[in-house]
């Protein structure tokens, strides 16, 4: 099943996507972490409140993840295009939660770092229940589903410090969506992933090129710490990021990025100049 969030009377509502319709679910929860933690059977929550999907204002399927974890250099061809060794241990970093936006929302080209903004199309895991010490062969049990994430990266800031966080967490640099496909629906390790910028194909790979697969990643992370329901894990990007084209093809205002993953859907976001706002 495909599970989305959308706005109904300015309030977030969790819903299922069935064909070209969006079917509201009977739940008091407005965001995915609380909804998943409640442990309900999604099939039992379908209501008669059905609307055209085309008219829905979709929100990120997980609006406020307890954590956003990400894996670097996790596709062989991407490690090779950057001249990097294929890692023997997963390269883990975090993205700050403020970066989350939904489908259709604008990715900012920051005024303070306008020249090295890049896309990274990725398969993302959504954790379904609180867990620790999950062996690889039981990881399926705690994964609620999968979604599409754009791990937008500011390359000069990313490279300026080894933790990468300051290049990975700018406001709006974590688009997620358009919805979550429940884990019973897809094999995460046999999916086509295609990233387009303005209709030009930039990344085109299958998830079977992952070095550490989704279940390896869950085992590795949960060995160290508890994973909470709603945690999002971006599993790495394939070859074809803008930085490694010759010449480089960095994002600029006016571009549109679309990432399609087979069995899930297409996440599309416009790229816009950072608005003139200052909070202080």
List residues near Mg ion by CB under 5 A: 120, 151, 237
Q: Which residue is nearest to Mg ion (CB)?
A: 151
For Mg ion, give the closer residue by CB, 72 or 178: 72
| Nearest to Mg ion of 13, 74 (CB atom) | 74
Q: Are 107 and 251 in contact (CB under 8 A)?
A: yes
Q: CA angle 108-74-227, nearest 5°? A: 80
What is the closest distance, in whole angstroms, from the C-beta atom of residue 74 to Mg ion in the complex?
Answer: 8
Q: Output b/e per residue, 22-61; b: 16+ Cβ within 10 A.
A: bbbbebebebbbebbbeeeebeebbeeeeeebeebebbbb
Min separation Cβ 45 and Mg ion, Å: 33
Residues 225 and 132: beta-carbon distance below 8 Å: yes
Least Å from the CB of residue 258 to Mg ion: 17
Nearest to 204 by CA among 194, 218, 212: 194
The token duo for 151 is: 């791990």
d(CA 263, CA 199): 20
Question: Cβ of residue 266: shortest distance to Mg ion, in angstroms?
Answer: 18
What distance in Å separates the CA atoms of residue 59 and residue 63, rounded to the nearest whole number? 7
Query: Min. distance of Cβ 93 from Mg ion in angstroms?
Result: 8
Least distance between Mg ion and beta carbon 239 (Å): 12
Closer to Mg ion by CB, 16 or 68: give it: 68
End-to-end CA distance of the chain: 43
Is residue 269 within 8 Å of 150, Cβ to Cβ? Answer: yes
Which residue, 120 or 274, is less far from Mg ion as judged by CB? 120
How many angstroms separate the Cα of 11 from the Cα of each of 7, 29, 209? 5, 11, 40
For residue 8, the cross-strand partners are 11
| CB nearer Mg ion, residue 24 or residue 158 | 158
Nearer to Mg ion, 119 or 179 (CB): 119
Q: How far is the CB of 242 from Mg ion (least distance, A)?
A: 13
The residue (of 40 and 67) whose beta carbon lies closer to Mg ion is 67
- Judge contact between 204 and 191, C-beta under 8 A: no
């Amino acid at each position: 099943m495909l599970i989305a969030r959308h706005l109904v009377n300015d309030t977030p509502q969790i819903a299922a996507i069935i064909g070209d319709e969006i079917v509201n679910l009977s739940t008091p929860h407005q965001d995915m972490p609380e909804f998943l933690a409640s442990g309900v059977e999604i099939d039992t929550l379908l209501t008669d409140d059905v609307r055209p999907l085309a008219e829905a204002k979709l929100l990120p399927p997980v609006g406020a993840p307890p954590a956003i974890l990400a894996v670097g250099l996790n596709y062989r061809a991407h490690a090779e295009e950057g001249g990097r060794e294929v890692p023997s241990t997963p390269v883990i970093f975090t993205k700050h939660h403020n970066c989350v936006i939904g489908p259709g929302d604008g990715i900012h080209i920051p005024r303070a770092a306008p020249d090295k903004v890049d896309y990274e199309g990725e398969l993302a895991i959504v954790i379904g229940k609180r867990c620790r010490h999950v062996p690889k062969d039981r990881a399926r049990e705690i994964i609620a589903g999968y979604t599409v994430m754009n791990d937008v990266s500011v390359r000069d800031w990313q490279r300026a410090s080894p933790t990468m966080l300051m290049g990975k967490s700018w406001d709006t640099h974590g688009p997620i969506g358009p919805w979550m496909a429940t884990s019973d629906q897809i094999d995460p390790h046999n999916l086509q992933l295609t990233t387009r910028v303005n209709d030009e194909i930039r990344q085109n790979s299958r998830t079977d090129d992952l070095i550490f697969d989704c279940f390896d990643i869950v085992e590795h992370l949960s060995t160290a710490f508890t994973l909470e329901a709603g945690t999002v894990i971006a599993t790495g990007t394939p070859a074809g990021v803008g930085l490694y084209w010759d010449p480089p093809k960095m994002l600029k205002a006016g571009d549109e990025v679309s990432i399609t993953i087979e069995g899930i859907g297409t996440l599309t976001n416009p790229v816009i100049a950072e608005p003139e706002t200052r909070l202080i």
